[in-house]
Structure 1
Amino acid sequence: MPYTLRRKVMFKDCDPARIVFYPRYFEMLNDTVECFFDEVLGCPFERLHQDHAVPTARIDTVFTAPSRLGDWLDITLTCIRLGRSSLDLAFAVRCGDEPRLRAASTLVHVGPDGRPVPWTGELRKALEYQIKGTD
């Protein structure tokens, strides 16, 4: 089941040409992940990151059109695959009907020592539900 975060392109996101400076998109994608964990999975990062983390292990991105200061972006996250300790995500960023960016990433659930640990309990159940909702 896709999750969408709507966000306005702010001055801080832009380069001197008033288009989104490409690293800012990665911050936007991470913000979307953080909101998804909080709002959909019921696992806010301030709780998750007390003894675990979900660093990005891989991200592939295709930029299809520039976004400009003042644009409203819909950043849609879809869970694609759940592994023992990994989670594959797909992102689509649009401004109205125009695609701006596509990305695919892998998060890894790690413990306090930074080593991968299995998804367990309610968090795993919530992620499984998200995966089943996309079939």
Structure 2
Amino acid sequence: MAFIRQTQVRFAHVDAAGIVFYPRYFEMVNAIVEDLFAACGEDFAELHLRQGKGVPTVNVAIDFTAPSRLGELLDFDLCLMRLGRSALTLGVEARCAGAQRLMGSVTLVRIDLASGASEAWPSDLATRLRNTLMDPAI
């Protein structure tokens, strides 16, 4: 996997037992996806507010393999599984000190916010997504 970001487990992420409440993982993954688009030169504020486009999540499948605890640092890795006309499927894995915490996939679709209809990725953005997800230096 090539796009890597680290996230600290914060108090807002955990339940009374001090472990990540599973919906918070989805928020973490969404933040990493937003970082991916920023790394590709596609600012979410610009995309949503000025261009009138969106990239909603249409499918997510995650296996939680071990609990994560308050204060731990999680390394989230994204890899390109499929880039279609309007859909992007990313492999997702999170590890803490090398130990896997979750793995799965997330699929996003580019849409026009006014109509809700899917639309093709701009070719320059598709190229930047491919290049960013395949460059281990990012």
Q: Distance in 2 between matches of 1:29 and 1:15?
A: 18
**Alignment partner of 1:12 is 2:33:** no
Structure 2 CA distance for partners of 1:124 and 1:44, relative to 1, 3 Å:
same
Question: Residue 46 of structure 1 aligns to which amino acid in structure 2?
Answer: A
TM-score by length of 2: 0.90
**Alignment partner of 1:129 is 2:128:** no
What's the offset of the Cα at 1:129?
2.8
What is the SS of the residue equivalent to 1:49?
helix
Identical-residue share of aligned pairs (%): 41
TM-score by length of 1: 0.92
Partner of 2:80: 79
Q: Distance in 2 between matches of 1:93 and 1:45?
A: 23
Q: Distance in 1 between matches of 2:11 and 2:132?
A: 34
CA deviation string 1:32-91 (max 9, x = no partner): 00011002x111111111310000010001000000001000011112111000001000
Q: Moved runs in structure 1, 4+ residues, more than 3 A?
A: 130-134
Structure 2 CA distance for partners of 1:117 and 1:20, relative to 1, 3 Å:
same
Matched pairs, number: 133
Q: Distance in 2 between matches of 1:27 and 1:131?
A: 20
Unaligned runs of 5+ in 2: none
Structure 1 window deviating more from structure 2 (110-119 vs 13-22): it is 110-119
Q: Distance in 2 between matches of 1:46 and 1:14?
A: 28
Q: Distance in 1 between matches of 2:106 and 2:92?
A: 8
Partner of 2:42: 43
What's the offset of the Cα at 1:125?
2.0
Q: Distance in 2 between matches of 1:7 and 1:25?
A: 10
Q: Distance in 2 between matches of 1:61 and 1:108?
A: 18
Unaligned runs of 5+ in 1: none
Alignment of 1:1-135 (within 5 A): 2-39=2-39, 41-50=40-49, 51-112=52-113, 113-130=115-132
**Would you say the 8 A contact 1:72–1:95 is kept in 2?**
yes
Q: Distance in 1 between matches of 2:29 and 2:133?
A: 19
What's the offset of the Cα at 1:132?
6.0
Question: Residue 101 of structure 1 aligns to which amino acid in structure 2?
Answer: L
CA deviation string 1:11-40 (max 9, x = no partner): 00000000000000000000000011002x
